[in-house]
Amino acid sequence: MEKRFKLHLTDMAHGGDALGRYEGKVIFVPYAIPGEEALVEIVEDKGSYARAQLIEILSPSPHRVAPPCPHFGPGKCGGCQWQHIAYQAQLEFKAAVVRDQLARIGHLPDVSVKWTIPSASPWHYRNHVQFAVSDDGQLGFVATNGRRVETIEVCYLLHPFLEELFAALDLELPGLVRLSLRAGVNTGDQIMIFETHDDEPPVLESDLPVSCVLLLSDGTPVNLIGNNYITEVVAGRRFRISATSFFQVNTAAAEELVRVVSEYVAPTGDETLLDAYCGVGTFALSLADKVGYVIGIEEDAGAVAHARLNAAELADAEFIEGSVEAFLPQLDRRIDLAVLDPPRQGCKPEALTALIELAPRRIVYVSCDPATLARDARRLADGGYQLVEVQPVDMFPQTYHIESVALFGRW
């Protein structure tokens, strides 16, 4: 096969690259767009497929736009992959990728995948960011090649509260390994989380109302200034979120997730709801007043502690610290409705087997990876569940990452 050739791009692949076919082989090309004709050059031949770099766009897509960020592009920051694609087209590609993964991996070709719900803002939405540190002590993000840190001056994905913190930073911390910034966009809470060599606490001075925490190598958060948590309001409920707990990075999109999950769960008032991988209780507590009883399961001890605090006024809610796959087989309570929000790796087979045995009438699966959603959807289908429809929600504009909500039922 030639190393450099013209290629017609036909589809968008899971992972953010456009793809085309040349001499019977699939070629993946980052920063290209389906519909384009491009000059490309092979950089990695894997036998059954190859990866190529974009040399020249010969016929640009009408969806191609000028990326605003100076750090975007080949060899630069690896945080965004799609700034060169108009936002409406990003939404279309995300739904198409979900549809493709369900068909190819889950062997579920006829599932209804709805139009992607857009983010309230395609820019300035991130309430949580984690900076790496370059060899010369500057903040940045891991580059596209994964081998260095791209020092940044600006990031167009940061929420204004985090832009404010980033602009105010004046750091001289030779032992700094990583720095995270988090904010409650509906409360104004802000927190900085430091990770250092040898767990040495930094010397800090701050005239901003921001909490500062040192995260030890064993995962223990140590207060330096203020609290080791922030608060956020979603769907009218206030949540306390520890420095290390998972919470959706796009608060407005999280509101949409809660709305869609509530619609799909369709509670009638007296059911028992299982919220597996519950974090600080976002879905469980948002639905608590619509069901009879809530059980949340979460492996992160800090998240469970905050979920219990968040549920302090509720008598009909309990949160269990442990893995879903370990706890579900022991559960001897009837489960009517279930919400799953697993990590990117999806659910372990043991968890799905136990859930199928519990036989809730509806399962709502919140996914941040369409490939593992498709795999787990196949397992649920084999266990007697019908995948009714999938609703993508754009949690991560300007990136290939896809959040979606899938409804399974036994009718």
- Picking from 55, 60, 35, the residue whose alpha carbon sits closest to that of residue 43 is 55
Quote the strand ranges of 329-385, DSSP E. Answer: 337-340, 362-367
Residues 376 and 364 sit within 8 Å (Cβ to Cβ): no
Name the nearest CA neighbour of 22 among 50, 60, 46.
50
Residue 137's pLDDT is: 85
Q: Give residue limits of the domains in the chain.
A: 4-64, 92-120+249-409, 128-231
CB 306 within 8 A of CB 240: yes
Give the tens place of pLDDT for each residue, 358-396.
999 999 999 999 999 999 999 999 999 999 999 999 999
Surface-to-core class of residue 209, CB atoms within 10 Å of its CB (0-12 exposed, 13-18 middle, 19+ buried): exposed
The pLDDT of residue 2 is 78
Question: Among candidates 255, 259, 253, which has minimal Cα distance to 396?
Answer: 253
Q: Fold identical between 4-64 and 92-120+249-409?
A: no
- The confidence score (pLDDT) of residue 112 equals 97
The CATH number of the structural domain formed by 4-64 is 2.40.50.140
Predicted pLDDT of residue 1: 64
Q: Is the Cβ–Cβ distance between 161 and 185 less than 8 Å? A: yes
The predicted structure's pLDDT at residue 205: 74
SS3 state of residue 395: coil
Tell me the two tokens of residue 69. 């960020």
Cβ-Cβ contacts under 8 Å for 209 (sequence gap 6 or more): 190, 226
Q: Which CATH architecture has domain 92-120+249-409?
A: 3-Layer(aba) Sandwich (3.40)
The pLDDT score that the predictor gives to residue 201 is 81
Choice among 155, 212, 347, 368 that is catalytic: 368
Domain 128-231 bears CATH identifier 1.10.3720.10: no
User: Do you know the residue count of the chain?
Assistant: 411
Q: What is the pLDDT of residue 393?
A: 98
pTM for the structure as a whole: 0.94
CB of 392 within 8 A of CB of 87? no
Nearest to 143, CA basis, from 76, 92, 197: 76
Clarify whether 368 is annotated catalytic. Answer: yes
Give pLDDT, residue 208.
80
Low-confidence ranges of the chain (pLDDT < 50): none
Residue 261 is classified by DSSP as: H
Query: Which run of H or E residues covers position 28?
Result: strand 25-29
